[in-house]
Amino acid sequence: MSLKIPTNILLPDGIFRQHYWIKRDHVVEQIHFNNRTFFSKYERIDAPLTNDLFMDHLLHKITIAHALIFPYKHIANIVIDYNGNDAKRFYHHLQHQLNALKIEIFTPFQSKTTNHIHVYLHYAPMPLQEGIQLGKIISKKLSDKLPGQWRIYPNDNLPEAYNILNLPYDQL
Protein backbone atom coordinates (compact mmCIF):
# COMPACT_ATOMS: atom_id res chain seq x y z
CA MET A 1 0.00 0.00 0.00
CA SER A 2 1.44 3.36 -0.95
CA LEU A 3 0.76 6.59 0.85
CA LYS A 4 -0.31 9.49 -1.34
CA ILE A 5 1.69 12.60 -0.52
CA PRO A 6 0.01 15.85 -1.50
CA THR A 7 2.29 17.76 -3.83
CA ASN A 8 0.48 21.08 -3.57
CA ILE A 9 0.70 21.44 0.21
CA LEU A 10 2.67 24.31 1.62
CA LEU A 11 3.07 25.48 5.15
CA PRO A 12 0.42 28.07 6.00
CA ASP A 13 1.50 31.68 5.46
CA GLY A 14 2.72 33.56 8.50
CA ILE A 15 3.48 30.65 10.82
CA PHE A 16 6.29 30.93 13.32
CA ARG A 17 9.12 28.65 12.17
CA GLN A 18 11.86 29.41 14.73
CA HIS A 19 10.61 26.61 16.98
CA TYR A 20 8.03 23.85 16.76
CA TRP A 21 6.25 21.28 18.92
CA ILE A 22 6.51 17.52 18.49
CA LYS A 23 3.90 15.13 19.85
CA ARG A 24 5.18 12.42 22.19
CA ASP A 25 3.49 9.22 23.40
CA HIS A 26 3.58 10.40 27.02
CA VAL A 27 2.81 13.50 29.05
CA VAL A 28 5.73 15.90 28.65
CA GLU A 29 4.58 18.73 30.89
CA GLN A 30 1.92 19.71 33.40
CA ILE A 31 0.77 23.29 32.96
CA HIS A 32 -1.16 25.13 35.67
CA PHE A 33 -3.31 27.89 34.19
CA ASN A 34 -6.40 29.69 35.55
CA ASN A 35 -7.01 27.12 38.30
CA ARG A 36 -6.80 24.24 35.80
CA THR A 37 -4.12 21.68 35.07
CA PHE A 38 -3.26 20.78 31.48
CA PHE A 39 -1.31 17.65 30.59
CA SER A 40 0.63 18.25 27.40
CA LYS A 41 2.01 15.53 25.14
CA TYR A 42 3.74 18.14 22.99
CA GLU A 43 7.38 18.99 23.55
CA ARG A 44 8.70 22.35 22.44
CA ILE A 45 11.79 22.02 20.24
CA ASP A 46 13.90 25.18 20.07
CA ALA A 47 15.13 24.61 16.54
CA PRO A 48 13.78 25.81 13.19
CA LEU A 49 10.85 24.02 11.58
CA THR A 50 12.40 22.65 8.39
CA ASN A 51 10.90 21.30 5.19
CA ASP A 52 12.32 17.85 6.05
CA LEU A 53 10.40 17.85 9.34
CA PHE A 54 7.28 18.94 7.48
CA MET A 55 7.71 16.03 5.04
CA ASP A 56 8.07 13.58 7.97
CA HIS A 57 4.82 15.01 9.32
CA LEU A 58 3.08 14.51 5.95
CA LEU A 59 4.32 10.91 5.91
CA HIS A 60 2.82 10.41 9.40
CA LYS A 61 6.24 9.54 10.83
CA ILE A 62 5.89 12.31 13.42
CA THR A 63 3.22 14.81 14.45
CA ILE A 64 4.38 18.41 14.38
CA ALA A 65 2.54 21.45 15.69
CA HIS A 66 3.34 25.11 15.26
CA ALA A 67 2.90 28.06 17.56
CA LEU A 68 0.31 30.70 16.74
CA ILE A 69 1.65 33.35 19.10
CA PHE A 70 4.89 35.07 18.20
CA PRO A 71 7.34 35.77 21.05
CA TYR A 72 6.46 39.48 21.03
CA LYS A 73 2.73 38.67 21.65
CA HIS A 74 1.59 39.23 18.09
CA ILE A 75 -0.15 36.86 15.68
CA ALA A 76 -0.32 36.58 11.90
CA ASN A 77 -3.18 34.06 11.75
CA ILE A 78 -6.45 33.36 13.47
CA VAL A 79 -7.32 29.69 12.99
CA ILE A 80 -10.73 28.08 13.10
CA ASP A 81 -10.36 24.44 14.09
CA TYR A 82 -13.51 22.55 13.06
CA ASN A 83 -13.97 18.96 14.18
CA GLY A 84 -17.63 18.24 13.68
CA ASN A 85 -20.09 16.21 11.67
CA ASP A 86 -20.42 18.21 8.45
CA ALA A 87 -17.26 20.01 7.34
CA LYS A 88 -18.70 20.98 3.94
CA ARG A 89 -21.74 22.67 5.48
CA PHE A 90 -19.58 24.39 8.08
CA TYR A 91 -17.11 25.67 5.49
CA HIS A 92 -19.94 26.92 3.24
CA HIS A 93 -21.48 28.87 6.12
CA LEU A 94 -18.08 30.10 7.27
CA GLN A 95 -17.36 31.58 3.84
CA HIS A 96 -20.58 33.63 4.02
CA GLN A 97 -19.78 34.86 7.53
CA LEU A 98 -16.22 35.81 6.61
CA ASN A 99 -17.45 37.70 3.53
CA ALA A 100 -19.99 39.55 5.70
CA LEU A 101 -17.13 40.52 8.04
CA LYS A 102 -15.03 41.57 5.01
CA ILE A 103 -12.41 38.91 5.75
CA GLU A 104 -11.17 37.91 2.32
CA ILE A 105 -7.80 36.23 2.84
CA PHE A 106 -8.18 32.74 4.28
CA THR A 107 -7.03 29.23 3.45
CA PRO A 108 -8.73 25.95 4.40
CA PHE A 109 -6.58 22.92 5.19
CA GLN A 110 -7.40 19.28 5.76
CA SER A 111 -6.33 17.95 9.12
CA LYS A 112 -5.83 14.30 9.97
CA THR A 113 -9.44 13.13 9.56
CA THR A 114 -12.11 13.84 6.94
CA ASN A 115 -14.34 16.15 8.99
CA HIS A 116 -11.46 17.95 10.68
CA ILE A 117 -10.42 21.17 8.96
CA HIS A 118 -8.34 24.19 9.91
CA VAL A 119 -9.16 27.51 8.29
CA TYR A 120 -6.33 30.03 8.54
CA LEU A 121 -7.38 33.67 8.42
CA HIS A 122 -4.27 35.54 7.30
CA TYR A 123 -3.47 38.98 8.67
CA ALA A 124 -0.63 41.43 8.89
CA PRO A 125 0.88 40.92 12.35
CA MET A 126 -1.54 42.19 14.99
CA PRO A 127 -1.45 42.31 18.80
CA LEU A 128 -2.52 39.06 20.43
CA GLN A 129 -5.47 40.57 22.32
CA GLU A 130 -6.83 42.15 19.14
CA GLY A 131 -6.70 38.73 17.43
CA ILE A 132 -8.43 37.05 20.37
CA GLN A 133 -11.25 39.62 20.28
CA LEU A 134 -11.68 39.24 16.53
CA GLY A 135 -11.79 35.45 16.98
CA LYS A 136 -14.57 35.83 19.55
CA ILE A 137 -16.59 37.96 17.11
CA ILE A 138 -16.21 35.33 14.38
CA SER A 139 -17.16 32.54 16.78
CA LYS A 140 -20.28 34.44 17.89
CA LYS A 141 -21.37 34.94 14.28
CA LEU A 142 -20.92 31.23 13.58
CA SER A 143 -22.79 30.17 16.71
CA ASP A 144 -25.88 32.08 15.53
CA LYS A 145 -26.40 29.47 12.79
CA LEU A 146 -24.38 26.36 13.63
CA PRO A 147 -23.78 24.03 16.58
CA GLY A 148 -20.46 24.83 18.29
CA GLN A 149 -18.15 22.20 16.86
CA TRP A 150 -15.13 24.46 16.43
CA ARG A 151 -12.50 26.29 18.39
CA ILE A 152 -10.86 29.57 17.57
CA TYR A 153 -7.13 30.03 18.06
CA PRO A 154 -5.48 31.85 19.65
CA ASN A 155 -7.63 31.37 22.71
CA ASP A 156 -7.15 33.26 25.98
CA ASN A 157 -8.76 30.40 27.94
CA LEU A 158 -5.76 28.22 27.13
CA PRO A 159 -2.10 28.57 28.14
CA GLU A 160 0.30 29.70 25.44
CA ALA A 161 1.69 26.16 25.11
CA TYR A 162 -1.84 25.02 24.12
CA ASN A 163 -2.22 27.75 21.50
CA ILE A 164 -0.55 25.47 18.97
CA LEU A 165 -1.96 23.52 16.05
CA ASN A 166 -0.85 20.42 14.23
CA LEU A 167 0.48 21.20 10.79
CA PRO A 168 -2.09 20.48 8.08
CA TYR A 169 -1.97 17.49 5.76
CA ASP A 170 -3.51 18.98 2.63
CA GLN A 171 -4.89 22.23 1.32
CA LEU A 172 -8.58 22.13 0.36
- Confirm whether 120 is domain-assigned: yes
Q: Name the residue range of residue 117's domain.
A: 74-153
Q: Of 71, 80, 162, which Cα lies nearest the Cα of 121?
A: 80
**141 and 79 within one domain:** yes
What pLDDT does residue 172 have?
79
Nearest CA among 153, 141, 151 for reference residue 94: 141
**Residue 80 located in a structural domain:** yes
- Predicted pLDDT at 14: 78
At 9 the pLDDT is 60
Q: What is the CATH number of the domain that holds 148?
A: 3.90.920.20
Read off the pLDDT of residues 42-88 as tens digits, 9 standing for 90 and up: 999 999 999 899 999 989 999 999 999 998 899 999 999 999 888 88
Number of domains in the chain: 2
State the pLDDT at residue 145: 81
How many angstroms separate the CA atoms of 121 and 14, rounded?
10
Mean pLDDT, range 9-36, rounded to an integer: 89
Query: Of 53, 37, 56, 33, whose CA–CA distance to 45 is shortest?
Result: 53
pLDDT averaged over the chain?
Answer: 88
Q: Is the pLDDT of residue 7 over 60?
A: no
Strands (E), the chain: 20-23, 29-33, 36-40, 42-45, 64-67, 74-83, 106-110, 116-127, 150-153, 164-166, 170-171
Reported confidence tier of residue 148, pLDDT bands at 50, 70, 90: confident
For 45, 69, 130, 164, 168, the CA distances from 156, given in Å and listed in that order, are 23, 11, 11, 12, 23
Based on the fold, state whether residues 78 and 143 are members of the same structural domain.
yes
Please indicate, yes or no, whether residues 100 and 83 belong to a single structural domain of this protein: yes
* % of the chain with per-residue pLDDT over 90: 59
Is 106 in the same domain as 46? no
Q: Is residue 164 part of a domain?
A: no
Q: Which residues 6+ apart lie within 8 Å of 117 measured at CB?
A: 82, 87, 90, 91, 108, 109, 110, 111, 172
* pLDDT attached to residue 20: 95
Query: What percentage of the chain carries pLDDT values higher than 70?
Result: 94
- 153: pLDDT strictly greater than 80: yes
Q: Residue 2 domain-assigned?
A: no
- pLDDT classification of 5: cutoffs 50, 70, 90: very low
Give the span between the Cα atoms of 26 and 30, in whole angstroms.
Answer: 11
Whether residues 65 and 90 share a domain: the answer is no
pTM of the model as a whole: 0.89
